[in-house]
Amino acid sequence: MNKLIIAPSLLAADFRNLEREFQKINDSAAEWVHFDVMDGVNVPNISFGFPILDATRKLTNRFIDVHLMIENPSNYFEEFKKFGADGITIHFENNRQLERDLKSIRALNMKSGIVINPDIEVSCVAPYLDDCDLILIMSVVPGFGGQKFIESTYSKVKEARELIDKSGYDIRLQVDGGVSIQNANQLRTSGADVLVCGSAVFNAPDFSKYIAELMK
């Protein structure tokens, strides 16, 4: 299994002190930054876009992992690349051109990913494995931070890990939603190798220590 990567979710950061928040990330063992983009249509919430991504790129050299929860995501791939995205993950549902979109992301020299929502079967992504670098399993319903972790996620992670291993492709397996010290070890042993952590780490008294504990 790949080395474990922790990706703090910017959605949970204090935007009144963004430079300070990135200093905490840069001083920690976190290797990625998870960047959620929501348009209020694809999911019932609105987050941030290109100006914040531009600021993010200037404040860190960490891998910027962009999770798109927007309509017509392919319209914006080049802009996300321009403003600093290293990888883009898109949703399986309501995307009739998923294969083309994944290829387009890679053609822009970014890592490509597929999201599996809680109501989507893991097997649905099997036809697209040769075009993706990341599978993201949502352990909450996408759209809002701070939700309770869905316990059935563990079995989906195990199933996805088996699917990846059988494929022979080098694909990262990420979990996002309600990740904390309480469930990180079980997620890791189930097969996850990238953990997105939002409220738990940004609300921790010691950011770097919490990241270190997750990695144990």
Active-site residue list: 36, 176
C-alpha to C-alpha distance for 184 and 172, rounded to whole angstroms: 16
- Measure Cα distances from 66 to 4, 42, 63, 181 in Å: 18, 15, 10, 23
Sign of CA dihedral 150, 162, 186, 30: negative
Sign of CA dihedral 136, 142, 146, 152: negative
Q: Provide the 10 A C-beta neighbour count for residue 105.
A: 28
Alpha-carbon Rg of the chain, whole angstroms?
Answer: 16
